[in-house]
């Protein structure tokens, strides 16, 4: 994949010249880029105090108040562009501000750049950060969020094996997503919910919450006790890597799973969730994979448009599942008290081996908006 350099790294852009044709102002910068601006955009992006609240970073006017005014004069020097409008308004832009809006760079700067597992030994690459450092230092916090952005997983170590200590970690990851499973949950094989997770059966790799309009962003799991038994190893798989393999090997299946809406469902006493969406969500502009919604258990019973679609559903899901069930793509390890596992539920699939004995897990979800907010505030993404 190819990415342009972000504007922050060459921010001192100077204007070379400005060409005004009809209602388009083309600004040419020294050593590029050359960016065309429509006059309606220029007026809408006026940063004067009447048009923009600089203290709240919000526009001051409704879009219907935006006048269809025309440019009377344009003046520029290396560092700024000044526009006089025919309704007696004046707008001044800095060269730096305007230079951010080269579409290709702007879009690329907003792309996430996940590093696919593709046979790499992910265990050696991900962040393993002590809880005290994670809670106290921005640099350690950055390490955790960068690991989540790159590999979809990070470990926090040295955590007290209690629900309270785990909750503190969840809050620092962006805040807890409240769901019917509680803010934070603690579970054994004594079922509080009608879900296979609350048993000691094996669970094949899956994403959580394909039945919600927004699945959980992060899943946080802490095994605070496993006594008098064996098994229960955690299975992690890179959902993006499997989808990328499917695209290469079975393009027709990839096309089906990126477009056909497949319904997920969760039912228990007084709750009934359903949501339909493609299993592989892609960004329409970049074609980057944004989310995997793969859960063989939570598929609801569905009617199909045609026999062909029905057959494609089975073929494509089985072909995708083969990458996820391939041991070469799975990372299998045992969670132990003190180790908090954080995974990106939009990307990674998780599962577990069956187990015996008493096993107590606690954890929580963090919404994607909330953890990406943290990553953005730490300047890791735009
Ligand atoms: Fe799960
Ligand atoms: Zn203005």
Last residue of a domain, one of 62, 86, 109: 109
CA of 197 to the centre of ligand 1 (A): 7
CA of 344 to the centre of ligand 1 (A): 12
Looking at residue 2, its pLDDT comes to: 36
- Which tokens hold the place of 125? 């690459």
Looking at residue 8, its pLDDT comes to: 47
In a domain, residue 2? The reply is no
Alpha carbon distances (Å) from 29 to 80, 84, 378: 11, 21, 29
Nearest ligand (C-alpha, residue 49):
2
Q: Are 73 and 67 in contact (CB under 8 A)?
A: no
- Which of 205, 141, 181 lies closest to 345 in space, CA to CA? 205
Nearest ligand (C-alpha, residue 43):
2
Looking at residue 190, its pLDDT comes to: 65
CA of 70 to the centre of ligand 2 (A): 14
CA of 81 to the centre of ligand 1 (A): 54
Beta strands 128-130 and 153-157: pairing type? parallel
Q: Are residues 241 and 98 in the same domain?
A: no
Contacts of 6 (CB under 8 A, 6+ apart): 105, 109, 382
Last residue of a domain, one of 109, 137, 164: 109
Looking at residue 3, its pLDDT comes to: 37
Q: Are residues 193 and 277 in the same domain?
A: yes
CA of 77 to the centre of ligand 2 (A): 20
The parent domain of residue 152 ranges over 122-377
CA-to-CA distance for 132 and 159, rounded, in angstroms? Answer: 9
Q: Are residues 71 and 214 in the same domain?
A: no
CA of 50 to the centre of ligand 2 (A): 5
- Which tokens hold the place of 328? 């070469």
Looking at residue 170, its pLDDT comes to: 97
CA of 55 to the centre of ligand 2 (A): 15
CA-to-CA distance for 195 and 357, rounded, in angstroms? Answer: 19
State whether residue 149 is helix, strand or coil.
helix
CA of 193 to the centre of ligand 1 (A): 13
Looking at residue 6, its pLDDT comes to: 39
CA of 36 to the centre of ligand 1 (A): 48
Q: ∠285-253-153 over CA atoms, to 5°?
A: 65
The CATH number given to whatever domain includes residue 36 is: 3.30.2020.30
Last residue of a domain, one of 68, 83, 109: 109
CA of 350 to the centre of ligand 1 (A): 6
Residue 306's Cβ-side half-sphere holds a number of Cα atoms within 13 Å equal to 4
CA of 85 to the centre of ligand 2 (A): 10
Nearest ligand (C-alpha, residue 348):
1
Contacts of 158 (CB under 8 A, 6+ apart): 130, 131, 132, 338
CA of 52 to the centre of ligand 2 (A): 7
Looking at residue 55, its pLDDT comes to: 95
Q: Are residues 306 and 327 in the same domain?
A: yes
In a domain, residue 149? The reply is yes
In a domain, residue 340? The reply is yes
If one counts the domains in the chain, the total is 2
Q: Are 161 and 222 in contact (CB under 8 A)?
A: yes
Q: ∠354-241-108 over CA atoms, to 5°?
A: 140
Q: Are 140 and 133 in contact (CB under 8 A)?
A: yes
Q: CA-based diameter of the chain, in Å?
A: 82
Q: Are residues 58 and 126 in the same domain?
A: no
Nearest ligand (C-alpha, residue 45):
2
Nearest ligand (C-alpha, residue 52):
2
CA of 203 to the centre of ligand 1 (A): 8
Looking at residue 184, its pLDDT comes to: 86
Looking at residue 11, its pLDDT comes to: 58
Q: Are 336 and 244 in contact (CB under 8 A)?
A: no
CA-to-CA distance for 102 and 32, rounded, in angstroms? Answer: 10
- Which of 210, 308, 326 lies closest to 256 in space, CA to CA? 308
Q: Are residues 39 and 88 in the same domain?
A: yes
CA of 323 to the centre of ligand 1 (A): 18
Q: Are residues 172 and 287 in the same domain?
A: yes
CA-to-CA distance for 188 and 200, rounded, in angstroms? Answer: 8
- Which of 141, 109, 111, 156 lies closest to 5 in space, CA to CA? 109
CA of 252 to the centre of ligand 1 (A): 28
Full pLDDT tens readout for the chain, 382 residues: 333 333 444 558 999 999 999 999 999 999 989 999 999 999 999 999 999 999 999 999 999 999 999 999 999 999 999 999 999 999 999 999 999 999 999 999 999 999 999 988 999 999 999 999 999 999 999 999 999 999 999 999 999 999 999 999 999 999 999 999 888 888 887 666 777 777 889 999 999 999 999 999 999 999 999 999 999 999 999 999 999 999 999 999 999 999 999 999 999 999 999 999 999 999 998 999 999 999 999 999 999 999 999 999 999 999 999 999 999 999 999 999 999 999 999 999 999 999 999 999 999 999 999 999 999 999 999 9
């Amino acid at each position: 994949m190819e990415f342009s350099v972000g504007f922050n790294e060459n921010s001192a852009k100077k204007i070379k010249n400005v060409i005004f044709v009809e209602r388009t102002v083309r600004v040419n910068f020294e050593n590029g880029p050359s960016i065309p601006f429509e006059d309606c955009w220029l007026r809408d992006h006026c940063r004067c105090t009447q048009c923009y609240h600089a203290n709240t970073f919000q526009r001051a006017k409704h879009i219907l108040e935006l006048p269809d005014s025309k440019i009377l004069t344009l003046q520029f020097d290396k560092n700024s562009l000044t526009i006089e409008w025919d309704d007696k308004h004046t707008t001044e832009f800095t060269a730096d501000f305007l230079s951010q809006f080269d579409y290709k760079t702007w879009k690329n700067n907003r792309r996430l750049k996940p590093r696919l597992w593709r046979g790499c030994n992910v265990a050696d690459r991900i962040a393993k950060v002590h809880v005290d450092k994670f809670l106290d230092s921005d640099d350690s916090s950055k390490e955790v969020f960068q690991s989540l952005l790159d590999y979809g997983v990070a470990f926090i170590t040295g955590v007290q094996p209690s629900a309270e200590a785990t909750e503190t970690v969840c809050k620092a990851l962006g805040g807890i997503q409240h769901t019917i499973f509680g803010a934070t949950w603690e579970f054994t094989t004594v079922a509080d919910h009608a879900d296979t997770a609350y048993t000691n059966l094996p669970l094949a790799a899956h994403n959580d919450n394909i039945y919600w309009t927004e699945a959980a962003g992060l899943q946080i799991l802490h095994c605070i006790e496993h006594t008098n038994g064996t098994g229960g190893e955690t299975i992690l798989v890179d959902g993006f890597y499997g989808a990328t393999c499917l695209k290469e090997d079975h393009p027709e299946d990839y096309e089906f799973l990126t477009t056909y809406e497949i319904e997920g469902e969760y039912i228990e006493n007084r709750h009934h969730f359903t949501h339909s969406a493609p299993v592989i969500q892609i960004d329409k502009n970049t074609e980057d994979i944004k989310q995997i919604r793969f859960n063989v258990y939570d598929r609801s019973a569905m009617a199909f448009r045609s026999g062909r679609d029905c057959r494609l559903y089975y073929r494509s899901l089985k072909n995708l599942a083969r990458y996820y069930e391939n041991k070469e793509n799975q990372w299998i390890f045992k969670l132990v008290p003190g180790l908090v596992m954080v995974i990106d539920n939009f990307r990674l699939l998780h599962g577990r081996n069956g187990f015996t004995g008493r096993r107590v897990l606690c954890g929580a979800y963090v919404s994607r908006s909330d953890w990406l907010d943290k990553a953005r505030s730490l300047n890791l993404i735009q």
